Structure 1
């Protein structure tokens, strides 16, 4: 070792004052190897190992092979909710360590590991301190992050974790607008976090990693969040769709297939591993020869490698000129286009093309906000907000049934309308606008998330309630929203309503846009998220999340969420199950 190298060694060791060692490769290179003492029998801890999820960590294996691993992130304080899950050997190999999920922000977390090593049982505790939870800063904030308040939590549901897909506005929206139609300018910051039943944030997605208004492929709105059967998370944003695991390891970050644009609202993983993606078509040639970018009216089936398997073009399957519901909508709240100054709604065929509620290809005539797969007959079920409660379409692109009021359908599509019946199967007397006499039956209006429930043989939807009976009521405060479940008899072409929740909660729970109803098989329950409740209040928007025992009004969980500003809805929630993600 020459004098220069010796001096370098002394300077580094003195400056860092760490218990480490300096290893010299040769006289020209020095490598400082810091050896920190491990907190347990495994290796050191890396927080946020993949850069996307700051409240996660990996405890490295240090080439050891623990078995029967159980991770428990202890709850904070007396009422804190512990998060516990098994970790399989495949997951430990994937991360070269033990995945830690569910940490609190700005907290010294205690993480208990229970496992066997060389045949001997081990229980040890690791301490992991995290940085604060951080969200985007926007004009008018009264909180730095959405506030979650538990109202009711049944002990059986205490371990619930909910991913909240929240939608603050983007203060920089005017910086980049694209001419030419479509929905490209539809853009918002992303606040995506997982809350426990005490209202504590236990995971969040770093919005700065996901969103950049100045980069085409990072514009858009994160939507369509689902946890797949193997525990991964899928979602889309603008011109891309994604798959990641709960540690934030990005598995797929892929552009939409060529010729398709403007993802929003929903995508689903099919049983064969393909994806159903709600998108739009670029440079679409209308029957009159005009070339437009369409808006929320195409469904793609894409295989795991990004190859397009099939396409449902709703412009040729449905009727883009039907306006029965469109003319009745409140123009102040057409999905996320919330505009206090809007008066009336322009559905003229010669209105400007683009993300405008109106008839004709190239405008927002369909507004499909969910897509689901029915494996029983290889069909899709869609929720076209501006057309009907739900529509089922086969692989052959033929409509199988339409759940919605009868007004305005052309002759071919009118034949596919389901007939409402009461609980005894007797036909109900309903007006063309959907008002049925002497019954609780009601259609969904401007609804979201029409999903198949194969376990029950039903379809559930969130009935937002705007434009009910194709009109606006005399008093806005008489509006309400509901979670609804329908039983459909495809042979008889009938439908009956078997459950609803929310009507009695009134205008406080009324959510004109967004929201979700979803069955939860693990606890035989129904989750209903009133994601834009109090949207028109001068104070902050206050979404409400409710989970109920199946088929009942028995509230198992009720959480109230206060947004950071007025006019700031959530989009959806979905239940997150760590066991699915890590037990492999």
Structure 2
């Protein structure tokens, strides 16, 4: 009996020993993949996430796959037969001992961009733009750099947000008549470079129609951005807008001469950026508003039957457009057709006209102190040339070449008039407009009461009116910015200068105080009788001052783009823009970015 018991103990002990030895051999380690199906599924997840394997090694029967995000994928080495990286294909082949094969995303060493996937001027209207179509074997994103002629400060770089295998790279900022180097980098999801390739893109010479640009001052660290969109009008229709950099090189322009619709583009005030990153403008030739991309492709247009476009269109915060218009049936009290005295609001989605402001109802259409043209066949008594929407009270600020600057409500009631107090009568509703005139204050906040100053025959040391103004805007609540052209200033032509001018307007007390100006000290050097622009650039606290017509450019004539620091008055950028002939240069200019 004892023999049988001892024999059973030996058998159990042997079984226990063997069982323990077998269990130790197959201990499950956390984070290790022990079967081919799980490994293949994990590879598919990595591919979908855009995470690549960058290296591999064996350690204690564990096959370590190092990922570009610093994680490690661990596979039981005993289930792996072979591992073959194929960097030219951006993958690796893993053959398992059970006969299955897994394809894992792996860091590649090729960036194939076929010649027919690169198009310079893909639309036919943007000669300094390009489109590159790339399909990669792995998910990621791209960064590209247009190498500038003048060092890194003239480079144009962009990293699109698209994370995918399929990419469309919209390249802007090439140079004309140049072998442009464009560096294209394929990145991981975190922006780390995987591989880079340089392309050379050839462009044709710039058209002779574009102007001579001479940069006199460029203090780049103090400037608010490097690129300026110029709504160029030189040498006539079709107008040719361009973007210049701070070195005076043209880096983008549109040539619509062969366009089926825009071949006579006449955008008056000019082209401006939309909130969605595209561009827009009103066109006098088609009497419509157009939305385009930077390639020059028309994305959408809005017509307004019964009206014609002139001068200015602006985008409201809700996306609708406010358009300075003329109405085909608009009549002066004398029975003649009027022009340039209507504002309409266009619904961005439906294209319908949702509101109209007839400015004959809210202003004095018989006031002729600045221009007597009531006897003309078409009466241009107002000449509304600029609009700005004031979101704070749902009102519109407008500039009118022949009347001054004013603010109207959403229901077409006049809030105030910024203009000399001379010969104001009543509107069509019988409202005495003298009650809407802003009263000027000196720097001590005391009322200016000299009648010659109030009526505009002379200036006060602390205050001047705007004359034939353009480009209204709100700099900050209660602070208003205008381009004061200075045409017929004080009813004379003896002193010629234009200004960027800021006023503080107290709408409750109906007072106006001049708090800042630039340009008077420049005299004829920056005088523009018509057109022109002014913008506040908040990032650097600068003012963009743009006299655009017949400006003396040192023996040539055209316009200037001047960026001046608001606090110090220091000019941080100045460029002269001179067409080869004529006086016409530009209406407006905007600081802009391609992306």
2:390 aligned with 1:352: no
Counterpart-to-counterpart distance in 2, 1:81 and 1:75: 5
Distance 1:63 1:121, change over 3 A: closer
Deviation at 1:495, TM superposition (A): 0.9
1:488 partner SS: strand
Which structure is larger by alpha-carbon Rg, 1 or 2? Answer: 2
Deviation at 1:284, TM superposition (A): 2.7
Distance 1:545 1:425, change over 3 A: same
Q: Please give the TM-score of this superposition, normalised by the length of structure 1.
A: 0.75
Give the 5 Å matches for 1:378-527: 378-388=394-404, 390-411=405-426, 412-430=432-450, 431=452, 432-435=454-457, 438-454=460-476, 457-473=478-494, 478-527=495-544
Please point out which of 202, 208, 213 is paired with 2:251.
Answer: 202
1:415 partner SS: helix
Deviation at 1:253, TM superposition (A): 2.6
CA RMSD, Structure 1 to Structure 2 (Å): 2.8
2:270 aligned with 1:224: yes
**8 A Cα contact 1:55 1:130, kept in partner:** no
Counterpart-to-counterpart distance in 2, 1:158 and 1:574: 11
Please point out which of 381, 400, 421 is paired with 1:365.
Answer: 381
Distance 1:321 1:39, change over 3 A: farther
1:87 partner SS: coil
Relative contact order, higher structure (CA 8 A, sep 6+): 1
User: Deviation string for 1:184-210 (max 9, x for gaps)?
Assistant: xxxx33021000011100000113145
Counterpart-to-counterpart distance in 2, 1:517 and 1:118: 41
Instruction: State the 4+ residue runs in structure 1 displaced beyond 6 angstroms.
Output: none
Give the 5 Å matches for 1:554-573: 554-573=570-589
Corresponding residue of 1:240: 288
Corresponding residue of 2:155: 82
**8 A Cα contact 2:362 2:414, kept in partner:** yes
Deviation at 1:82, TM superposition (A): 1.0
2:359 aligned with 1:314: yes
User: Deviation string for 1:311-342 (max 9, x for gaps)?
Assistant: 11112221111111115xxxxxxxxxxxxxxx
Q: Please give the TM-score of this superposition, normalised by the length of structure 2.
A: 0.74
Gaps of 5+ in 1: 1-37, 136-142, 171-187, 328-346, 354-362
Counterpart-to-counterpart distance in 2, 1:405 and 1:241: 34
**8 A Cα contact 1:106 1:129, kept in partner:** no
Deviation at 1:223, TM superposition (A): 3.4
**8 A Cα contact 1:479 1:507, kept in partner:** yes
**8 A Cα contact 1:509 1:533, kept in partner:** no
Counterpart-to-counterpart distance in 2, 1:326 and 1:108: 53
Distance 1:66 1:572, change over 3 A: farther
Gaps of 5+ in 2: 1-108, 427-431
Deviation at 1:111, TM superposition (A): 1.5
User: Deviation string for 1:223-262 (max 9, x for gaps)?
Assistant: 332112222111111112111122323222332x11111x
2:490 partner SS: helix
